[in-house]
Amino acid sequence: MSQKWFATSVEETLKQHDTAVEKGLSSETVARRLEEFGYNELQAQDSTPAWKLFAHQFQNPLIFILAVGAIVSFMTGHTVDAVAITAIIFINACIAFWQEYKAQKGMEALKEMAAPTAEVLRGGEWLNVPARELVPGDVIRISTGDILPADVRILEANRLAIDEAALTGESEPVDKITDIIADESVGLGDQKNMGFMTTIVTTGNGLGVVTGTGMKTEVGHIADMMANTEETKTPMQVRMDTIAKMLLVAGLSVVGVVCAIGLYHGMPWLDILTTGISLSVAAIPEGLPTVVTIVLTMGSTKMVKSNALAKQLAAIETLGSTTVICSDKTGTLTQNQMQVMKAYDAEGRYWEVTGKGFDPKGEFVPENHDVAATDSAAMMQGLVVATLCNDAEYVQDGGKFSVRGNPTEGALIVAAAKAGLKQAEMLSTGGYSIVEKFPFDSARKMASVIVKSPEGKHFLALKGAPDVVLRHSAGFMVDGAPVYHSSTAIEGNLALEANPTSEYVANFEAAIENFGKDALRTLAVGMRELSEADLKKDPEELEKDVVILGVYGIMDPPRPEVRDAVEQCYNAGVRTVMITGDHAVTAAAIARDIGIIRSEKDRVVTGTELDAMSDEDLQNICPEVAVFARVTPEHKLRIVKAQQVNNEVAAMTGDGVNDAPALRRADIGVAMGITGTSVAKDSGDLILLDDNFSTIVKAVRQGRQIFDNLRKFIRQELTANVGEISVILFAFLLMGPEAILPLTPLMILWVNLVSDGLPALALGVEPEEKDLMERAPRKRNEGFFSAGLGERIITRGLALGALSYVAFSWALDNGYSANYAQTMAFMTLIFAQLWHLFDCRTFTTLFRKNPFTNKYLLGAVAASATLSLGVVYTGFGQLVFSTEALEMSHLMLIAIGSSLPTFVLSGVKELTKVKFI
């Protein structure tokens, strides 16, 4: 909003909009403003046609090379090769298309949240009109249950409270006022005289004048940020792009070298083309995209069992790269259920109240005394008052407990239930009845009810802000009877030296201060006996001279498992940062409690401070900040961007509309599945089905394991490719112009997809390494081939290729046919790869790994060996692949001798600890 309407008076707001609270706008003015401002709706972006998405999948270097190979194969008569390669291309494109087709639909979800109709004053008459036809200056009626159809300046507020959690992150409904707010720097959550589009009216009613419609609303601003927020590629996608480009360059280089050698030796063009096809097929791991997708899918299935649903498969691996988790507070780190944590009675005693959320299981545990809560007359009477002066309703559905109404009031009912007082029973069979209610309003800062007791007497039950209740008090309940103040008025700092209750006043003030230090929201309760004459008095007269019973400290407590989860993140080198719309004091207290703030060096920064910072300043302080409080959607987006500029891999959690832009921008957006809005879920990459921060930690562990297993798989896959390329290169380099291909293109396809791809796939379910959550996170720019993995792939691949060429050359030298020699090279390469699989299972050596811990790998090796033998020893296999049955002695020699590269090189690595072997 360009105009800060919260800092503008009601009169001035109406004047600037040229409207009146008595008549509203005329139809002519509405028509003119509709033309000027447009309809009150959010603008969705045009979606990409499905055919364009499908065509986009072929813009991949791997696919391009394979396509050229398929075309050349077809033109040179290698029809089987061409069909096989084309099928692989099509399968990979379909899988990638389906993932991209499930694109974000956040804008559609935002539009669905908008109110369909509105009650508006037009020409002095109240009309129900479609919400899309509202214009700035319209006066609308606001009632309980309404979804606000536009941004409004509040004109009248009768106990009006609006739930703005989805927009601001506030865990409590906001009580609305009409007064001007002078401080123009206040954040969205403190603009109490404003109402915002898509938020929900929880109680009361009022009037508002429309100040913003469509894309000019706060939610429209968020929609605009979503539309203009670039979704970053995940580290996984970046690494796969790097591999694709590397393979493209390597493949073309090898083909170029071999073609140059062929031309130098004067080989026929057809032979050169055939060789080029073989090399292009050998250079590209055809099954890589498919197998990566399958491995990620298996990881996704496992994560669902841990209550984490991945919308984008690449996001699963990203979790393993995460270096900082930017977490929302309410509902993620906390239970999103207000709870009485501490209680204080008028006699100066404290109790800790145990339990979880709205579950009535719990007890009052004495602190520094041995008096049970049930033995304190002040405490028990206070709980009676807290239960009866209450508009919330306690609901039990089977084993689930919830509260209808204000969560803070609900917390009081639950606390009373822990002491044996049940609201429903007290009002139905307990003899209590409510005679009249005086609801809370922002001017009085209190609420009260007239109650008829089981004895037939009347009393006033009152609750409110402790300082206000104290100003209206006559004394304190001590030993079951009131002890009254002297006639001295309670003013100023409430220090009453000459008062017989001064000790109780001081203790009461100390309790408020102690609860405040713990970031507890405080409510005091009191009562006053009433005569028949009192029943006719106004609440202003009745709410005086009450007897104070106690104070309750209330908060949305941390989830019990969060502390351990934050500690696990810390040990794994993953920093947790709280980003919340709540107040700084409350956020900091929670952060200290759960271990996000670990020392005095950890800073707490507010949204107001962020507004005064440049992007560079924000980037500089990010490593020091543990809590960002009172932030707006724009702040969240800036914070995520700053983390990424600092080379962090940032995960962002959220549940509201206000979180959507940051969820889209983050390396991985984590949306809440239970409390999350549809906008947040559509904007996120991962959905927590239990809204629990500890689930993120499980997902990080799973992401790291998936990345480990992908590296193991890629090592095996590319080692095979190096072996295939090198055996052909050895033939060209050593055999000269009379070179015979050791492997046919179809043999190479078999090796890549079956004899290598199938067992390598079993590496995707390899058990995690012992030090998985003790390592530092990977850097954003760290590739698959770090820590010597690239060198190991080349070293092992050359060894496998050399051994296969030796077998091929030996067969030719001993008078066997070319087909027999190719079969020797084919089977040698297959068995060498199967032995090499056992070393790929670990980043150390196979001597440190139990070979029997992955039953899937053992089964895959057996299946691969059996299928490959079928290619050699069946008539159909011999016909398709041009193989010949090997002598059993040769087969046994191959099966045993092909283990030499793995065992010898692994032994050297074990002894020398050299990474590149």
Contacts for 89 with CB less than 8 Å, ≥ 6 apart: 58, 63, 66, 67, 70
Q: Please, what sign has the CA dihedral across residues 221, 222, 227, 231?
A: positive
Element holding 529 (H helix, E strand): strand 521-530
Reading phi first (left if > 0) and then psi (alpha if -120 to 50, else beta), residue 783 is in beta
Q: What's the DSSP call for residue 129?
A: E
Asked whether 171 and 122 are in contact (CB, 8 A), the reply is no
CA-CA distance, 134 to 119, in Å (whole number)?
10
**Six-digit token pair at 35?**
């033309």
CA distances from 868 to 282, 714, 745 (A): 18, 21, 16
In whole angstroms, give the CA distance from residue 804 to residue 826.
7
- Are 317 and 703 in contact by the 8 Å Cβ rule? The answer is yes
Radius of gyration, CA atoms only, the chain: 36
Query: 146, 328, 691, 756: which one is catalytic?
Result: 328
Return the structure tokens found at 283.
Answer: 């250079």
Helix axes 693-735, 562-571, angle to 10 degrees: 30
Residue carrying the six token digits 């179809």:
746
End-to-end CA distance of the chain: 62
Report which secondary-structure segment, H or E, holds 175: strand 174-175
Q: Which residues pair with 154 in a beta bridge?
A: 208
**C-alpha dist (Å) from residue 86 to 193, 243, 281, 292, 334:** 64, 21, 12, 19, 52
Between strands 117-122 and 174-175, the pairing is: unpaired
What is the amino acid identity at position 110? L
Q: Tokens 């913003």 belong to which residue?
A: 212
DSSP-derived 3-state class of residue 900: helix
**Strand 364-367 relative to strand 350-353, pairing:** antiparallel
Residue 882, both tokens: 């041009």
Strand-pair partners of 127: 120
Quick check: 797 and 867 in contact, CB under 8 A?
no
The angle at the Cα of 515, spanning 514 to 519, to the nearest 5 degrees, equals: 120
Residues near 194 by beta carbon (within 8 Å), at least 6 away in sequence: 5, 6, 151, 152, 153, 154, 211
Rounded Cα–Cα distance for residues 839 and 582 (Å): 52
Name residue 293's amino acid.
T
328 is catalytic: yes
CA distance 556 to 632: 21
User: Known catalytic residues?
Assistant: 328
